[in-house]
Amino acid sequence: MNNKLIQLFQTENKNLLNIYCTAGFPKKESTIEVILSLQKNGVDMVEVGMPYSDPIADGDVIQASNMVALNNGMTIELLFKQLNSAIKKIKVPIILMGYLNPVLQYGIEKFCTHAATAGVSGIILPDLPMYEYENLYKKYFLQNNLSFINLITPQTSTKRILEADNQSTGFIYAVSSSTTTGSTNLGENKKEYFEKISSLKLKNNLMIGFGISNKKTFNNACKYAAGAIIGSAYIKALAKNSNIEEATNSFIKTIR
């Protein structure tokens, strides 16, 4: 069972673009159209948000998209059905991002099995403590060849960064500042933080997220990492234009 995310980093680790979208947004049936449109427009990987009523790491834009998706009737089960329906068309690595509570309700062993069957490469669960992952759930991720991606912030201690690196496969998600998504700009003041991470010689590649919304911030992030993650700015673009292909094409042109 191949892991597309790990394969990608084996061949490419510069200027990688990861775009976040919310499953079931703007419409319940939009998920695959959005993924394929991102793929067509040259995105290297797609992070698909599993809608949740209390997305604590997310700002207003992504929270609002979560509520729209939930009101549309989006569920984890439906997401897996959608991904399975397009498994032969999706060539880019798919990463699922969500929160622990819905995954536990679904059943974490079943979740990992179904994710792998649906062609998912990696999982991000920001509120899953590292010790719980290590002691309770790691085996299910390993059994299904799923990358587990930890988040770190400017406040994360060196010890915890090294722990996160040890547990993660695929990449480490470096949050540019201790805030929610979409609420900051990536400035030069983060240089010290990124250089500190670089000096640790981590085994995993770094992807930087939060505060990246245009070519300037994307290029700045790529100076310090393998690439960057963009979410809120793309969700805004989808909200403004009901033509997904048009919205995606225009948006990616502002990044690359």
The overall longest dimension of the chain from CA atoms, in Å, is 46
Amino acid identity of residue 139, one-letter, is K
Between CA 128 and CA 125 the distance in angstroms is 6
From 47, 109, 163, 165, the catalytic residue: 47
> Catalytic annotation on 47?
yes
Amino acid identity of residue 16, one-letter, is L
The conformation of residue 219, written as its DSSP 8-state character, comes to H
Q: Which H/E stretch holds residue 89? A: none
How many angstroms separate the Cα of 102 from the Cα of each of 23, 98, 125, 144, 234? 14, 8, 11, 19, 24
Structural domains in the chain, CATH included, are 15-150+213-253 (3.20.20.70)
Kindly give, in sequence order, each residue whose CB lies less than 8 Å from that of residue 234, ignoring residues fewer than 6 positions away: 19, 20, 21, 248, 251
Q: What is the reported pLDDT for 142?
A: 97
Q: Which residue ranges of the chain lie beneath pLDDT 70?
A: 1, 57, 178-189
From 58, 60, 134, 163, the catalytic residue: 58
Amino acid identity of residue 12, one-letter, is E
Between CA 95 and CA 35 the distance in angstroms is 11
Strand partners, 230: 19
Amino acid identity of residue 77, one-letter, is E
How many angstroms separate the Cα of 31 from the Cα of each of 24, 86, 97, 196, 243? 5, 10, 14, 37, 13
Is 143 in contact with 120 (CB distance < 8 Å)? no
> Catalytic annotation on 54?
no
**In the numeric block, which tokens belong to residue 14?**
């510069």
**In the numeric block, which tokens belong to residue 101?**
């509570």
Is 172 in contact with 144 (CB distance < 8 Å)? no
Between CA 161 and CA 153 the distance in angstroms is 9
Q: Which H/E stretch holds residue 47? A: strand 45-49
Q: What is the reported pLDDT for 182?
A: 52
